[in-house]
């Protein structure tokens, strides 16, 4: 081996390589040859250490060793235990862990490592423990258990930590052995060494995690004492919030166990502890604004920190809080605004989206100006986040649609990738659907966009929408030009969509029909089959091939069968037999089998998504369309008339129980249908004849008229059972339903899929489901509340005053009333500025039967926190006004 | 609800072109070399134009929280799950960064490669299978240098200068290929 040239002296063959590396030109074969020095009778420790470094370098660069190579290296390395050189020994430990020898090879090093475990040198002991525990199997563990137990309480922290962390890993494979160390681990929790305390606490919790009582005891004793290590303190906070989550809080007194401990941690000297505690408080379920305040205050301080990591952590947490408690975050708005210009774009984006969630109507214009500059220099992924935030802002303040729609159309014209453009287009589509006033301007923005759109998917989506919405606008003819341009200029897929869109105009607007026919005729010579076929088909329809009503339904209604079902029916259809029968296609949704057990992270995401959906308040119209279609496909319910409202999902079981059931309340003018979505989470069971038995003893206004069973429910595949009720006429029917899931259980062998034939009857108690007054009110968006208010005859106004009693804050009172009424807050009046003594809140909705109802709530709070409310209701139907008052009066 | 101790997903040390200098993965989220390299590339590309020299910077990439700090031609990264406490990740990063600075006379790619054994030992002393083993740079550096290996002096009582002395001694041995 040649001596390494001194740095700076250049070799010929790496003249171009400006960088110098001791590993230049390294090659696996050569290094493996070099590894023979491990077998020398006279070991050169330094040289051996270098060869190991080279091997590790190769592994680190992604090189792999074959089984034989690894075995050879491993055996050679074991020889090196003869050397007393400290540096070499460390490298030997490292490479043994990297190579991870197979079980039969481990034996070779066991005795050497066990010797090191009893060495006088603490660092040898610590490392030997880590290596041995990493490579060993259960059998050997028994032999060394005694040493490990002692090591846990060793006076040197490095030894103790090594044993504890190894125990943490071993707990997966050998829980019984590790659990026997409990006493020692408990002693180590009291260690003065900060990291030992941390490792001991982590292990102790891991040992006891399935024993709720033990965890609760652990938390109770440690939160009183002094845990010095910041990392251990962070752990304790996590465990504490788990205990809080699982223990039922005392909702009456409002006192949450251990809240004081979390709040105390906000004054800890270590920033990581302060943050961990603040975050834990914001994530408490059902957190009140009083509980939130101290956490928000420390997070606000973090916002102006000089450290990007702290600003990021704080703004990310506040952003999450803003989804559920926007008013709580409003105090931070000034600090947030200064973060828009933060060098770190992640922080800036989070700040903007937080502001968009908490901002009030008056700040929209200013905010949009700042965002316009900001959008120029951020990446697409951030832009998408901003676009989504703007969309929800626009739904919250529909009067601002003009400025927000303009913003969206401006950014639509700028450069951007598909995902970004898709997000913008989808936002505009949603705004068009939700805000009638925005329709015309939205459509013309989209028309301009498809003139120069490189994404086929987006063009076809927009053309479809133009076909449906365009004919119903004031001047349908102006869209024709844009659509026909597509026929001339685009690829076949877009051309086909354009032809369909044209046909819809032809069918819906009589005056345009002759001109449309001319245009479609030109498409008969298109060089693409699909385009020609569509043109022929539509010409036939429009030329009176079918009656007018028929052609309209054909063009404007989508298929009433799920596409997946249609596809499978078509696949099994044999063309020779008879004509394909559309009505024979099954209408019931077949759900995808449940995916593998969800990870905790995705569950959390689902929970957040759920909260988000709840915060938005109403289901998107596409979801309620889907419900209506589903219900109409069953003969039992098809005669119930028009579906008025479908509630959000209500969970009727706790998470992670054997059967998971949630329910949707479908409200019809005279009927209520309860839809129970059931999932069987037991692999070993197949459920047959699944039904829900509903007891109406606390819901006397309801008479059961129909029900629908679920014939079979295999593992993981959700299914629906239904029960329908007739309501007593002439009154607002409310009540509580108690529900029992009934079924026949059949055992299934999960390996073979065989199931026994007999089975046995069983039942499962579900939680109660309540139909409240809010179920009879539909949230509606009113762009001009004042105008709508004045448009209703003032004679139909009913005013009354109510005392609401003592409340924590005005915000809480406002929220409570909104929830009871289930109406849509307008003009952002649902958020109360902090410390306000009075507040006015405007609500809009549609009452069952179709009458529009507007509500003005005026709140006042006195020094004793007594809240009084004046309720003014206007509706075209005086009956409805009275009913709203009745709802509040009886709440 | 499952509660976990803070977990480190990986620690990366890349050069100014995004190439690996030393990396250590503690999570199965990246099952093969290709996915690891893809993650490194993605993180590097998204951070290369950011000046993370004075203070550690942070971002969300591919659903992970990544804290990072750069010095000369070296990029240090520590990755955690998307709901990890950002400040804990930053503490680990700082521990790694400072420990390398204590051990090496001059923190740049060249010296790191020349003393790769020390840097790999550093990684080994900071995190064990995802669990934070130690994040105090002085303690890490001392353990890497095996200071106190023979003496009975507890490591925590060692000083930076002692650690430095060992490191210098190591350098003085002048790497030989």
Q: What is the mean pLDDT of residues A340-365?
A: 84
Please tell me the number of Cα atoms within 13 Å of B106 on its side-chain side: 8
Q: Are A318 and A296 in contact (CB under 8 A)?
A: yes
Residue of chain B whose alpha carbon sits nearest to that of A125: B149
Residue of chain A whose alpha carbon sits nearest to that of B12: A60
Rounded to two decimals, the pTM is: 0.67
Q: Which CATH superfamily, name and number, covers A775-890?
A: TATA-Binding Protein (3.30.310.10)
Q: What is the mean pLDDT of residues A573-591?
A: 65
The two three-digit tokens of residue A248, written as one number? 């039922």
Q: What is the mean pLDDT of residues A687-691?
A: 85
pLDDT > 70 fraction of chain A, expressed in percent and rounded:
89
- The contacts of residue A284 (CB under 8 Å, 6+ apart) are A241, A244, A245, A256, A259, A291
pLDDT for A16 equals 44
Among A438, A830, A779, CA closest to A619: A779
Answer with the residue of higher pLDDT: A891 or B113: B113
Q: Residue B166 falls within a domain, yes or no?
A: yes
pLDDT for B171 equals 58
Among A120, A119, A77, CA closest to A98: A77
Kindly report the nearest CA distance between residue A691 and chain B, in angstroms.
Answer: 30
Answer with the residue of higher pLDDT: A538 or A717: A538
Q: Do residue B109 and residue A19 have CB atoms under 8 angstroms apart?
A: yes
Q: Do residue B3 and residue A239 have CB atoms under 8 angstroms apart?
A: yes
Query: Cβ of B91 under 8 Å from any chain A Cβ?
Result: yes
pLDDT category, B168, cuts 50, 70, 90? Answer: low
What tens digit of pLDDT does each residue of A430-459 get?
Answer: 888 888 888 888 888 888 888 888 889 999
Specify burial of residue A588 (Cβ count, 10 A radius: 0-12, 13-18, 19+).
Answer: middle
pLDDT > 90 fraction of chain A, expressed in percent and rounded:
18
Alpha-carbon distance values, A566 to A126, A559, A575, A592, A720 (Å) = 65, 9, 15, 16, 21
Inter-axis angle of helices B86-103 and B160-172, nearest 10:
50
Q: Do residue A60 and residue B22 have CB atoms under 8 angstroms apart?
A: yes
Please tell me the number of Cα atoms within 13 Å of A92 on its side-chain side: 27
Q: What is the mean pLDDT of residues A337-352?
A: 88
Whether pLDDT at A583 is above 90: no
Q: Residue B64 falls within a domain, yes or no?
A: yes
Element (H, E) at B64: strand B64-71
B5, B86, B121 member nearest A94 (Cβ): B121
Q: Do residue A209 and residue B131 have CB atoms under 8 angstroms apart?
A: no
- The contacts of residue A296 (CB under 8 Å, 6+ apart) are A278, A282, A318, A321, A328, A329, A331, A332
Q: Do residue A234 and residue B170 have CB atoms under 8 angstroms apart?
A: no
User: Distance between CA A360 and CA A396 in Å, rounded?
Assistant: 10
Q: Which of B25, B30, B85 to mutate to test the interface with A (most CBs of A within 10 A)?
A: B85
pLDDT for A743 equals 87
pLDDT for A603 equals 42
Among A693, A695, A676, A680, CA closest to A745: A680
**Quick one: CATH architecture of A613-771?**
Sandwich (2.60)
Q: Mean pLDDT for chain A? A: 83
User: Distance between CA B42 and CA B33 in Å, rounded?
Assistant: 14
Q: Are A46 and A91 in contact (CB under 8 A)?
A: no
Q: How many Cβ atoms sit within 10 Å of the Cβ of residue B88?
A: 26
Q: Where are the alpha helices (DSSP H) in chain B?
A: 33-47, 86-103, 109-114, 116-126, 137-144, 160-172
Domain enclosing residue B134, as ranges: 8-175
Weakest-pLDDT range from A84-88, A411-415, A839-843, A871-875: A411-415
Q: Are A23 and A54 in contact (CB under 8 A)?
A: yes
pLDDT category, A272, cuts 50, 70, 90? Answer: very high
Q: What is the ipTM of this complex?
A: 0.87
Q: Are A676 and A652 in contact (CB under 8 A)?
A: yes
Kindly report the nearest CA distance between residue B134 and chain A, in angstroms.
Answer: 7
Query: Cβ of B128 under 8 Å from any chain A Cβ?
Result: yes
Please tell me the number of Cα atoms within 13 Å of B107 on its side-chain side: 19
pLDDT for B17 equals 92
Q: What is the mean pLDDT of residues A660-684?
A: 86
Whether pLDDT at B150 is above 50: no
Q: Do residue B59 and residue A272 have CB atoms under 8 angstroms apart?
A: no
Q: Classify strands A824-825 and B127-128 as parallel, antiparallel or unpaired.
A: unpaired
Q: Do residue B60 and residue A49 have CB atoms under 8 angstroms apart?
A: no
Residue of chain A whose alpha carbon sits nearest to that of B129: A169
Among B99, B95, B113, CA closest to B145: B99
Q: What is the mean pLDDT of residues A99-115?
A: 84
User: Distance between CA A534 and CA A523 in Å, rounded?
Assistant: 9
Instruction: List CB contacts (< 8 A) between A52 and chain B.
Output: 117
Instruction: List CB contacts (< 8 A) between A243 and chain B.
Output: none
What tens digit of pLDDT does each residue of A7-62 get?
Answer: 444 444 444 445 567 888 888 999 999 998 998 888 889 899 999 999 999 999 99
Inter-axis angle of helices A45-60 and A86-99, nearest 10:
30
DSSP secondary structure string, A129-197? HHHHHHH--HHHHHHHHHHHHHHHT-SSHHHHHHHHHHHHHHHHH-HHHHHTTHHHHHHHHT-SSHHHH
Instruction: List CB contacts (< 8 A) between A121 and chain B.
Output: 149-150
Residue of chain B whose alpha carbon sits nearest to that of A156: B154
Q: Which of A87, A310, A655 to mutate to test the interface with B (most CBs of B within 10 A)?
A: A87
pLDDT > 90 fraction of chain B, expressed in percent and rounded:
66
Query: Cβ of B86 under 8 Å from any chain A Cβ?
Result: yes
Q: Residue B1 falls within a domain, yes or no?
A: no
pLDDT for B29 equals 93
Instruction: List CB contacts (< 8 A) between B57 and chain A.
Output: 308-309, 344
Instruction: List CB contacts (< 8 A) between B116 and chain A.
Output: 22-23, 53, 56-57
Q: Do residue B113 and residue A22 have CB atoms under 8 angstroms apart?
A: yes
Instruction: List CB contacts (< 8 A) between B90 and chain A.
Output: 307, 309
Give me the CATH number covering residue B19: 3.30.450.60
A7, A86, A162 member nearest B149 (Cβ): A86
Among all chains, which residue has been given the structure tokens 């088909």? Answer: A537
Q: Exposure string (b/e) for A493-513, b if CB count within 10 Å is 16 or more?
A: ebbbbbbbbbbbbbbbbeebe
Whether pLDDT at A558 is above 50: yes
Q: What is the mean pLDDT of residues A297-301?
A: 95
Residue of chain B whose alpha carbon sits nearest to that of A274: B87
Q: Which of A1, A122, A159, A278 to mutate to test the interface with B (most CBs of B within 10 A)?
A: A122
Q: Do residue A62 and residue B37 have CB atoms under 8 angstroms apart?
A: yes
Q: What is the mean pLDDT of residues B104-126?
A: 92
Q: Please give the distance of CA A750 from its chain centroid, rounded to a whole number.
A: 30
Question: What is the distance in angstroms between the CA of the first residue and the CA of the last residue of chain A?
Answer: 90
Q: Is the dihedral of CA B21, B24, B28, B32 positive or negative?
A: positive
Q: Do residue B177 and residue A238 have CB atoms under 8 angstroms apart?
A: no
The β-bridge partners of A844 are A824, A854
Question: 3-state class of A604 per DSSP?
Answer: helix
Among A265, A342, A359, A352, CA closest to A306: A342
What tens digit of pLDDT does each residue of A484-536 get?
Answer: 888 888 888 899 999 888 888 888 888 888 888 888 888 888 888 888 888 88
User: Distance between CA A127 and CA A125 in Å, rounded?
Assistant: 6
Instruction: List CB contacts (< 8 A) between B120 and chain A.
Output: 53, 56, 60, 94
What tens digit of pLDDT does each residue of A735-745 get?
Answer: 888 888 888 88
Whether pLDDT at A303 is above 70: yes
Q: What is the CA radius of gyration of chain B?
A: 16
Q: Classify strands A769-771 and B127-128 as parallel, antiparallel or unpaired.
A: unpaired
pLDDT for A623 equals 66
Q: Which of B4, B5, B143 to mutate to test the interface with A (most CBs of A within 10 A)?
A: B5
Element (H, E) at A779: strand A777-779
Whether pLDDT at A766 is above 90: no
Weakest-pLDDT range from A119-133, A551-565, A663-677: A551-565
Instruction: List CB contacts (< 8 A) between A231 and chain B.
Output: 6, 88, 132, 135
Residue of chain B whose alpha carbon sits nearest to that of A210: B2
Residues 144-173 of B with CB under 8 A from A: 144, 146, 148-150, 154-156, 170, 173
Q: Are A667 and A848 in contact (CB under 8 A)?
A: yes
Kindly report the nearest CA distance between residue B157 and chain A, in angstroms.
Answer: 12
Instruction: List CB contacts (< 8 A) between A87 and chain B.
Output: 117, 146, 170
Question: 3-state class of A695 per DSSP?
Answer: strand
User: Distance between CA A832 and CA A325 in Å, rounded?
Assistant: 11
Inter-axis angle of helices B116-126 and B137-144, nearest 10:
130
pLDDT for A551 equals 65
Element (H, E) at A739: strand A735-747
The β-bridge partners of A662 are A651, A677
Answer with the residue of higher pLDDT: A372 or A65: A65
Residue of chain B whose alpha carbon sits nearest to that of A244: B1
Weakest-pLDDT range from A191-205, A815-829, B53-67: A815-829
Q: Please give the distance of CA A141 from its chain centroid, rounded to a whole number.
A: 42
B4, B85, B113 member nearest A21 (Cβ): B113
Q: Residue B2 falls within a domain, yes or no?
A: no
Whether pLDDT at A91 is above 90: yes
Residue of chain B whose alpha carbon sits nearest to that of A604: B1
Q: Tell me how many degrees the CA angle A365-A366-A370 measures, rounded to the nearest 5.
A: 115
Number of folded domains that form chain B: 1
Q: Residue B80 falls within a domain, yes or no?
A: yes
Kindly report the nearest CA distance between residue B170 and chain A, in angstroms.
Answer: 9
Residue of chain B whose alpha carbon sits nearest to that of A345: B59
Whether pLDDT at A618 is above 70: no
What tens digit of pLDDT does each residue of A358-398 get?
Answer: 877 777 788 888 787 777 767 777 788 888 888 888 888 88
């Amino acid at each position: 081996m040649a001596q390494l040239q001194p740095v700076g002296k250049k070799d010929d063959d790496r003249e171009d390589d400006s960088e110098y590396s001791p590993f230049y030109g390294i090659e696996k074969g050569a290094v493996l040859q070099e590894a023979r020095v491990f077998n020398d009778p006279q070991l050169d420790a330094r040289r051996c250490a270098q060869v190991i470094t080279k091997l590790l370098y190769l592994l680190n660069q992604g090189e792999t060793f074959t089984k034989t190579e690894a075995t050879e290296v491993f055996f050679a390395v074991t020889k090196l235990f003869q050397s007393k050189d400290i540096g070499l020994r460390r490298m030997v430990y490292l490479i043994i862990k990297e190579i991870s020898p197979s079980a039969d090879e481990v034996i070779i090093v066991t005795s050497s490592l066990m010797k090191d475990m009893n060495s006088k040198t603490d660092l040898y002991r610590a490392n030997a423990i880590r290596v041995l525990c990493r490579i060993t199997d259960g059998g050997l563990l028994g032999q060394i258990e005694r040493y490990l137990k002692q090591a846990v309480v060793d006076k040197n922290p490095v030894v103790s930590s090594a044993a504890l962390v190894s125990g943490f890993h071993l707990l997966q494979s050998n829980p019984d052995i590790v659990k026997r160390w409990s006493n020692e681990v408990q002693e180590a929790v009291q260690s003065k060494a900060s990291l030992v305390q941390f490792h001991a606490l982590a292990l102790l919790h891991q040992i006891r995690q399935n024993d709720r009582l033990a965890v609760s005891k652990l938390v109770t004793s440690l939160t009183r004492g002094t845990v010095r290590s910041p990392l251990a303190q962070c752990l304790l906070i996590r465990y504490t919030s788990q205990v809080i989550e699982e223990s039922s809080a005392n909702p009456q007194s409002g006192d949450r166990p251990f809240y004081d401990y979390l709040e105390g941690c906000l004054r800890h000297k270590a920033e990581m502890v302060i943050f961990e505690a603040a975050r834990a408080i914001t994530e408490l379920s059902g957190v009140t604004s009083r509980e939130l305040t101290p956490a928000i205050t420390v997070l606000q301080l973090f916002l102006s920190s000089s450290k990007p990591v702290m600003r990021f952590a704080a703004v990310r947490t506040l952003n999450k809080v803003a989804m559920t408690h926007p008013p709580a975050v409003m105090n931070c708005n000034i600090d947030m605004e200064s973060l828009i210009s933060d060098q770190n774009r992640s922080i800036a984006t989070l700040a903007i989206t937080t502001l968009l969630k908490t901002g009030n109507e008056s700040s929209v214009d200013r905010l949009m100006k700042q965002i316009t500059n900001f959008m120029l220099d951020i990446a697409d992924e951030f832009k998408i986040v901003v676009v989504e935030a703007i969309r929800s802002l626009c739904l919250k303040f529909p009067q601002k649609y003009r400025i927000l729609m303009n913003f969206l159309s401006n950014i639509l014209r700028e450069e951007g990738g598909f995902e970004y453009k898709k997000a913008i287009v989808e936002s505009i589509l949603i705004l068009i659907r939700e805000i009638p006033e925005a329709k015309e301007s939205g459509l013309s923005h989209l028309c301009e966009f498809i003139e120069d759109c490189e994404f086929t998917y987006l063009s076809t989506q927009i053309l479809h929408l133009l076909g449906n919405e365009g004919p119903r606008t004031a001047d349908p003819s102006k869209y024709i030009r844009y659509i026909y341009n597509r026929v001339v200029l685009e690829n076949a897929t877009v051309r086909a969509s354009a032809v369909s869109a044209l046909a819809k105009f032809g069918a819906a607007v009589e005056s345009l029909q002759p001109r449309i026919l001319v245009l479609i005729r030109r498409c008969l010579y298109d060089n693409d089959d699909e385009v020609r076929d569509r043109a022929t088909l539509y010409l036939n329809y429009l030329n009176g091939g079918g009656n007018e009503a028929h052609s309209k339904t054909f063009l404007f209604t989508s298929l009433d069968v799920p596409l997946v079902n249609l596809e499978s029916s078509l696949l099994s259809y044999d063309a020779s037999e008879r004509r394909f029968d559309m009505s024979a296609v099954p209408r019931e949704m077949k759900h995808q089998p449940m995916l593998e057990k969800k990870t905790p992270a995705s569950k959390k995401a689902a929970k957040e998504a759920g909260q988000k959906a709840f915060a938005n308040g109403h289901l998107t119209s596409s979801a309620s369309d889907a419900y209506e279609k589903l219900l109409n496909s069953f003969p039992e319910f098809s005669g119930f008339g028009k579906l008025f409202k479908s509630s959000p999902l209500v969970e009727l079981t706790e998470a992670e129980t054997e059967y998971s059931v949630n329910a949707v309340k479908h409200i019809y003018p005279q009927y209520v249908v309860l839809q129970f979505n059931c999932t069987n989470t037991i692999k070993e069971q197949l459920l047959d004849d699944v039904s829900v038995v509903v007891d109406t003893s606390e819901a006397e206004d309801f008479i059961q008229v129909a029900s629908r069973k679920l014939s079979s429910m295999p593992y993981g595949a959700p299914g629906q059972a239904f029960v329908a009720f007739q309501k007593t006429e002439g009154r607002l029917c409310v009540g509580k339903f108690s529900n029992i899931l009934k079924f026949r259980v059949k055992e299934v062998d999960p390996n073979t899929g065989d199931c026994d034939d007999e089975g046995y009857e069983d039942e499962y108690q579900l939680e109660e489901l309540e139909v409240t007054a809010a179920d009879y009110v539909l949230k509606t968006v009113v762009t001009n509340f004042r105008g709508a208010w004045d448009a209703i005859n003032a004679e139909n106004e009913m005013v009354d005053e109510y005392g609401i009693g003592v409340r924590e804050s005005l915000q809480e009172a406002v929220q409570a009333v909104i929830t009871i009424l289930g109406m849509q807050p307008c003009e952002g009046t649902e958020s109360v500025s902090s410390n306000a003594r009075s507040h006015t809140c405007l609500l809009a909705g549609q009452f069952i039967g179709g009458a529009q109802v507007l509500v003005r709530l005026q709140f006042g709070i006195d020094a004793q926190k007594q809240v009084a409310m004046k309720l003014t209701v206007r509706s075209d139907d005086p009956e409805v006004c009275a009913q709203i008052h009745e709802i509040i009066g009886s709440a | 609800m499952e509660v976990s101790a803070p977990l480190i997903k990986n620690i990366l040390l890349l050069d100014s072109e995004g190439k690996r200098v030393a990396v250590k993965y503690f999570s199965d989220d990246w099952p093969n070399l290709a996915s690891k390299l893809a993650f490194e590339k993605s993180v590097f590309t998204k951070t290369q134009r950011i000046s993370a020299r004075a203070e550690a910077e942070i971002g969300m990439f591919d659903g992970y929280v990544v804290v990072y700090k750069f010095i000369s031609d070296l990029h240090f990264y520590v990755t955690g799950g998307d709901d990890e406490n950002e400040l804990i990740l930053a503490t680990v990063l700082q521990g790694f960064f400072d420990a390398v600075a204590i051990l090496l006379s001059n923190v740049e790619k060249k010296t790191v490669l020349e003393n790769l054994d020390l840097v790999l030992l550093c990684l080994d002393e900071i995190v064990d299978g995802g669990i934070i083993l130690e994040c105090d740079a002085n303690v890490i550096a001392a353990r890497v240098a095996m200071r106190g290996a023979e003496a009975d002096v507890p490591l925590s009582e060692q000083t930076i200068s002692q650690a430095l002395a060992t490191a210098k001694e190591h350098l003085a041995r002048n790497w030989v290929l």
